[in-house]
Amino acid sequence: MSEEEITISPLQQRADDLQERFAEQAVDVLVARGEITLEVPREHLITVCTALRDEPDLAYSQVMDVCGVDYSTYGEVEWETNHATTSGFSRAVNHNEEHEAKWLKDRFAVVYHLISYRHNKRVRVRTFADSEFPVVDSVVGIWNGANWFEREAFDLFGILFDGHPDLRRILTDYGFVGHPFRKDFPLIGEVEMRYDAEKKRVVYQPVTIEERVNVPRVIRSEHLHGVDEAETE
């Protein structure tokens, strides 16, 4: 097949155009599962996002979602690898197979889902944050709708957004300790709150809940699988 006969899909053409447009910012454009992802170095995040909003050929005027991601255990289990099957009974059942190497990039990422109403197109932007002190620039000045989304990512993942006008917790209590969506966060939490009748106010104290064990408490007997009940006694 000659080069003239090779056709590029519209999705791949859009990805190539974005790759060329943001080559100076070292943006890596990925295509997977029918979606385009722009992997943007965090030092160029504001520049790239501003261009995505303002340039007529792009016109991504609205942010639909902003979320955090914790890759700390990526690659350690079959459900979290680049090559795990996405459907079928065989997914994640071969427990003895070797998995791919652990995640080599920064532990935390922030993902932005953008939409262009003018062109009826969507794109995803991902930038990584330092593992020890995760912080990225806030995009609230570009899309005001990112305000509460960034607060949620801060609350649940502990990712800081530099320049956010009001970076406070939004889902947990103001006195909450820790960030629940970090994969190293204890299942039972660290503190609990209760109303103290003597002090007539809410007080915080270490958790008193016993740690849960994620093991089924009911074990079905063999007779349920065709074995006569008398044989199991």
Domain boundaries, the chain: 3-71+106-185
Would you place residue 1 in the very low, low, confident or very high pLDDT band (cuts 50, 70, 90)? Answer: very low
CB atoms within 10 A of CB 105: 11
Q: How far apart are alpha carbons 162 and 174 in whole angstroms?
A: 20
153-165 tens-digit pLDDT: 999 999 999 999 9
78-135 tens-digit pLDDT: 555 555 545 554 444 555 555 555 677 899 999 999 999 999 999 999 999 988 899 9
SS3 127: strand
Helix H or strand E segment including 52: helix 45-54
Residue 171, token pair as written in the block? 């889902």
> Is 3-71+106-185 assigned to CATH 3.40.50.2300?
no
Mean pLDDT of the chain: 83
DSSP collapsed to 3 states, 9-51 = CHHHHHHHHHHHHCCCCCCEEEEECCEEEEECCHHHHHHHHHH
